[in-house]
Amino acid sequence: MRDRWVAEIRELWGQREHSSLNDFADVAVREQFLPSLDVAIDVPVTIFTPAQATDDVFLYLHGGGWIAPASGKHLGWAKRIAALSLNTVVAVHYRLAPEDKYPSALRDCAGVLRSMENWFTGRITIGGDSAGANLAAALYFFCRGRGERLPEKLMLNCGVLDLELEKHASMMRLGKDHPYNGIELLAFQRALYAPEQDLWSDPLASPAHGDLGSLPQTLVIVGEEDPLCDDGIDFAKRARSAGAPVKLHVGEKMPHGFHMQHSLVPQAAAAAEQEILALLKMTVDRSPPSS
């Protein structure tokens, strides 16, 4: 039964064809394999390079509940952001649960990030949507814990940032019987990705439990009608209270993933996109703090 549900979700959510992939013809697209941190694992990536690319790179981690692959919609959005921001965008096709549970996806993303650090001399932004936002924030704490170079910026769009789903009011208010992002489905995905309950308070699986005061320049986007709304709002508020430079953008009356739904909610998607592009184009001081 579990495998049948996973297969159905992957078929519905992971469709690789999407009209947006035909937009922005001046953006070069290539597929490549890069090493994971795990030995003998090669990670597929899709690299979007705009014609007038800067030296900056955006490492993009797609959503899909840790169990579904990147869809054409995800890749079309990545191509759009590359064209508009002039960042090279590297979309990571990390390993999926339940075949590869935590920390496989995180270690794939960390391996790709290491390659990006060797290739690009500019600023690095890590970001994603939904489960991808979870991985983006977790990757920051992973790098910080290992004393490795940290990204200059984080982008967390409609993220699952706290695996203790049930403690957030919006999840319990909006998530029951939700058609595609409810508590039932998210708990199922959580069980496949991070089945041990002690992981739900581990910052590398549940980044809301990390040192939020250490975050770099960060953008958090939430939809007001998304069951995950309070998860993102609480994350942003606690990070700002701890002194981190975090900006919160709330899409009024918007659902999960509204930031890439330009054909359905054009004004709200455009407003979120404005914040996204402002983050990607932002100049961040890379010099170490004075002692």
Alpha helices (H) in 194-265, listed in sequence order: 229-241
Residues in the chain: 291
Query: Using CA atoms, how far apart are residues 258 and 133, in angstroms rounded to an integer?
Result: 14
Of the candidates 18, 5, 12, 11, the one whose C-alpha atom is nearest the C-alpha of residue 46 is 18
One pLDDT digit (tens) per residue for the chain, 291 residues: 999 999 999 999 999 999 999 999 999 999 999 999 999 999 999 999 999 999 999 999 999 999 999 999 999 999 999 999 999 999 999 999 999 999 999 999 999 999 999 899 999 999 999 999 999 999 999 999 999 999 999 999 999 999 999 999 999 999 998 988 999 999 999 999 999 999 999 999 999 999 999 999 999 999 999 999 999 999 999 999 999 999 999 999 999 999 999 999 999 999 999 999 999 998 866 554 443
**CB burial string 194-213: b at 16+ within 10 A, e below:** beeeebbebbbbbbbbbebe
Q: Is the pTM of this model over 0.85?
A: yes
Alpha-carbon Rg for the chain in angstroms: 17
Q: Is the CA virtual torsion 270, 275, 279, 283 positive or negative?
A: positive
User: How far from 26 is each of 52, 82, 274, CA to CA, in Å?
Assistant: 9, 10, 21
Alpha-carbon distances of 158 from 28, 34, 40, rounded to whole Å: 28, 27, 33
User: What are the Cα distances from residue 183, in Å, to 52, 73, 190?
Assistant: 43, 24, 10
Closest CA to 129 of 13, 5, 16: 13
CATH code: domain 2-281 is: 3.40.50.1820
Write the CA distances from 221 to 20, 184, 247, 274, integer angstroms.
Answer: 22, 23, 8, 12
Sheet holding 124-129, edge to edge: 28-35, 42-49, 88-92, 57-61, 124-129, 153-157, 217-223, 246-251
Domain ranges, ordered by start, for the chain: 2-281
